[in-house]
Chains A and B, each alone.
Chain A
Amino acid sequence: MPVRVLVAKPGLDGHDRGAKLVARVLRDAGFEVIYLGIRQRPDTIAAVAVQEDVRIVGLSILSGAHVALTEKTVKALRAAGADNTLVVVGGTIPRRDVARLEAAGAAAVYPTGTPVEQLVDSLRRLSAIEAPR
């Protein structure tokens, strides 16, 4: 069964080149990708993640609001009962914020400049870890 990934942009930032590229790269790498698009509310992302039973939610954020938006999305996912869904975050993310994102519940962070092969490998490793039932 291919691993299901939801790619979305929370908040108001509309720069979606990276999110769309990642969606295509992951699809070509064998993931089943649901692309939700820009300006998505955290609770919408959570609702779709639950409905589509995705393993990974990938957030792309270039506006600098990554910490708060990641916190909100993780909280919305937990509230929706998606306890086993992993959240990963990419975008314009200063290194000083990587630890803050991990503390907010991100399983992995991919700042600008992360090679796509590295991203694919990382998601494969993460999704190979058996979800606790």
Chain B
Amino acid sequence: MDDSVRSEAGIPLRVSYGPESLPPPESIPPPGQFPFTRGNFVDGYRGRVWTIRQYSGFGTAEESNERYRYLLDQGVTGLSVAFDLPTQCGYDSDNPEVEEEVGRVGVALDTLADVEILFDRIPLDAISTSFTINGTAAIILAFYVAAAEKQGVDRAKLRGTIQNDILKEYVSRGTWIWPPRPSLRLIADTIEFCADEVPRFNAISVAGAHFRDAGANAAQEMAFTLMDGITYCDEVIARGRMTIDEFAPQVSFFFYTHGDFFEEIAKYRAGRRRWAHIVRERYGAKEDRSCMFRVGCVAGGASLYAPQAHNNIVRVAYEALASVLGGVQSMFTAAWDEPFALPSEDSATLALRTQQVLACETGVARVADPLGGSYYVEALTDEVEARVIEIMDDLERRGGMVRAVEEGHLHRLIADEAFRVQQAVASGEREIVGVNCFQTDEEPPEVEGYELDERGRARQLERLAAVKRSRSDVDVRATLDALDKAAAQDDVNLMPLLVDCAQAYCSVGEMVDVLKGQWGEFQQPAVF
């Protein structure tokens, strides 16, 4: 066989596929049936189209609130909150070491006062909110619960997701705070807390997306993500307080859709099938809904390029189509100017319209899993699944994900793949329009982008100082002390204590510092 033609993940492709490529019919039952290869729902997107989100947030809570209300007016059905790096890494805005990062890649949140402004005039019982937050996810969840209750919304009505996936931060996104062990404990605390008290909220969105953007291929992305999912489920199960059926429906996943159209579709189908088997076979789930692999995705990221940047509009549209044919539950689409700056209002709106055209005009959402039974798509689904199993087995043999993270093994695998792609692009083996073929010498666009309002940081500091003046120091001390004592023990769920801290207007940095005192900080292996 001529195996010179390969998918992006290196799977050799035949010139065409036929009936002999189809798996046995029992492995591809109709949509809505275990193992959900063809989708989670019998009626595909007819019952409900995927959630259309746009990732945004910048500057202060006021500016972000304004952008959210604009996006809701334009028809988004869920919010997706971007945080600034100090909030993600657990520093307050008044920490001089991080002054230049305040409000830059997302919104700055220090205390509940900011969160109240962020969701002002946004009914939290009516929308779903996704938070790209990891190290400080438990604290942000506490803020959200406290803010909702101040609006008069019961925590049981809240819908949305915290990303809350620390393992991939250690490897590829970098917003870690504490070492793996206590971080896993805090994640298990949030999973139990949501199962008990915030039942419509996803406690975790296991995110392969960042492995992908750091360089992993589609099969690695799926394999690493499923391994992370297993690590979190193992942690909760090992505590012995919950069965898989009590929390699995609140575990969701998140990926990048990049350019290899059919491989991306196959990736989502293979991931659904693999996770369903893992949840049933490894954990003995009794209910089918526990086995569902609920997926959000983003189209864009490292698949976008700076030269001839308007081509990114086309790339994102194809990636969005692949995502929908792969059966994702929610999506956001990157703006074409992402390689240069935070998107402008125009480019962000165009990215949103890309999804709306797909949902309303193309008809792809009319029929569930329209590619089911395609010789090629089914064969590729099997091939991707086989690679995923191979990679997962290898990681299990090496002692699991925490070890692979601590030893820098994952860092190396991802850097190797990123380098391989870079060389393939440099040699022209992988063609990228405008980058290594059909180049022009056009200047990069004068991107307007978003320029940070330097007064924003001053306002943020003023508000933090005002909150610190007006809150009760007695309550602050009492709630932080209680958190400190509970963190020293392994068997206390920290979430109720974090909600108490939030309600007492303790800051992110204050809570993080208390936990650092108990748990220390992570040191990343520097591997290139």
List A residues at the B interface (Cβ < 8 Å).
Answer: 7, 11-17, 19-21, 23-25, 33, 35-39, 41, 63-65, 67-69, 72, 92, 94-96, 111-113, 116-117
- List CB contacts (< 8 Å) of B86-110 with chain A: 86, 88-89, 91, 97-101, 104-105
Is there an interface contact between B213 and A17, defined as CB atoms closer than 8 Å?
yes
The residues in B between 157 and 185 inclusive whose CB is less than 8 angstroms from any CB of A are 169, 172-175
User: Distance (Å) between the CB of A62 and the closest chain B CB?
Assistant: 8
Residue numbers in B under 8 Å from A21 (CB-CB): 418-419, 422
Check B524 for interface membership: any CB of A closer than 8 A: yes
Shortest distance between the CB of B176 and any CB in chain A (Å) = 8
From known contacts A35-B528, A95-B444, infer whether A13 and B422 are also in contact, taking CB-CB under 8 Å. Answer: no
- Within the complex, the shortest CB–CB distance from A59 to chain B, in Å, comes to 13
Contact: A113 with B526, CB < 8 Å? Answer: no
Chain B residues 448 to 467 lying within 8 A of chain A, measured CB to CB, are 449, 452
Task: Judge whether B307 is part of the interface by a CB distance below 8 angstroms.
Answer: yes
**Roughly how many angstroms separate A67 CA and B454 CA in the complex, as a whole number?**
13
Question: Does B358 belong to the interface (CB within 8 Å)?
Answer: no
A116 touches B524 (CB 8 A): no
Docked pose: A92 CA to B339 CA in angstroms: 6
Contact sample, A vs B, 21 pairs, CB 8 Å cutoff: A11-B98, A12-B85, A13-B105, A15-B214, A16-B214, A17-B213, A17-B215, A20-B419, A24-B419, A25-B422, A38-B174, A63-B104, A65-B101, A68-B100, A69-B100, A92-B339, A92-B341, A94-B341, A111-B306, A111-B340, A113-B444
B144 interface hit (Cβ, 8 Å): no
Alpha-carbon distance A35/B528, docked complex (angstroms): 7
Q: Which residues of A contact B173 (CB under 8 A)?
A: 14-15
* Min C-beta distance of A15 to chain B, whole Å: 7
- Which residues does chain A contribute within 8 Å of B302, judged by CB atoms? 17
**How far, in whole Å, are A63 and B305 apart by their CA atoms in the complex?**
17
Q: Taking A65-B101, A116-B422 as contacts, is the C-beta distance between A24 and B528 under 8 angstroms?
A: yes
Within 8 Å CB of B213, what residues of A?
Answer: 15, 17
* Residue of A20, A63, A112 touching B418 (CB-CB under 8 A): A20
Q: Closest 5 CB pairs between A and B? A: A14-B174, A113-B306, A68-B100, A37-B526, A12-B85
B242 interfacial contact with A, CB 8 Å: no
Q: Does B446 sit within 8 A of A, measured CB to CB?
A: yes
Q: Which of B169, B341, B418 contacts A17 (CB 8 A)?
A: B418
Which residue on A lies nearest to B308, using beta carbons? A113
- Docked complex: B380-406 residues within 8 A CB-CB of A: none
Q: Nearest CB to that of A33 among chain B residues?
A: B528
Apart from A12-B85, A35-B528, A37-B526, list 6 A-B contacts with CB within 8 A: A14-B172, A16-B214, A21-B422, A24-B528, A94-B341, A95-B446
Is B342 on the interface with A (CB-CB < 8 A)?
Answer: yes
> Whole-angstrom distance between the alpha carbons of A49 and B35 in the complex?
54
B434: min CB distance to chain A, Å: 10
| Contact B104–A65 (Cβ < 8 Å) | yes
B415 at the binding interface (Cβ < 8 Å) = yes
Q: How close is B406's CB to chain A, nearest CB, in angstroms?
A: 15
Closest to B309 in A: A113
Q: Which of A13, A16, A33, A111 has the most CB of B within 10 A?
A: A16
Min Cβ gap A36→B in Å is 6
Known: A14-B174, A37-B524, A94-B341. A64 touches B452 (CB 8 A): yes
Output the nearest chain B residue to A68 by Cβ-Cβ distance.
B100
**Please, how many residues of chain B have a CB less than 8 angstroms from a CB on the other chain?**
43
Closest chain B residue to A27, Cβ basis: B528
Contact A12 B88 (CB under 8 A): yes
Interface centre among A20, A69, A111 (most CB of B within 10 A): A20
Within 8 A of A (CB), among B499-528: 524-528
B312 CB to nearest A CB, Å? 12
Which chain B residues border A36 with CB–CB below 8 Å? 526
Q: Which of A35, A92, A96 contacts B526 (CB 8 A)?
A: A35
Query: In this assembly, does B426 line the interface, its C-beta being within 8 Å of a C-beta of chain A?
Result: yes
Q: Which chain A residues border B99 with CB–CB below 8 Å?
A: 68
Query: In the complex the two chains form, is B215's CB within 8 Å of A13's CB?
Result: no
The reply to whether B528 and A23 contact each other, CB–CB distance below 8 Å, is yes
Contact residues in B for A38 (Cβ distance below 8 Å): 174, 524
Judge if B447 is at the interface, Cβ distance under 8 Å. yes
Q: Which residues of B contact A41 (CB under 8 A)?
A: 97
CA distance in complex: A37, B522 (Å): 13
Q: A64 to B104, alpha carbons, bound, how many Å?
A: 7
A23–B527 Cα distance when bound, in Å, is 10
CB contact list, B181-230 vs A, under 8 A: 213-215
Q: CB-CB < 8 A to A25: which residues of B?
A: 422
Given the contacts A12-B86, A64-B452, A65-B100, A113 and B305 also touching, CB distance less than 8 Å: yes
| Residue numbers in A under 8 Å from B101 (CB-CB) | 11-13, 63, 65
A8 to chain B, nearest CB (A): 9
B214: which A residues are within 8 A, CB to CB?
Answer: 15-17
> How many angstroms between the C-alpha atoms of A44 and B339 in the bound complex?
28
Known: A16-B214, A64-B104, A64-B105. A94 touches B340 (CB 8 A): yes
Q: Pick from B88, B105, B307: contact of A113, CB below 8 A.
A: B307
Nearest CB in chain B to that of A96: its residue: B446
Interchain CB contact under 8 A, A116 and B339:
no
Closest to A35 in B: B528
B306 shortest CB reach to chain A, Å: 3
Chain A proximity of B437: nearest CB distance (Å)? 13
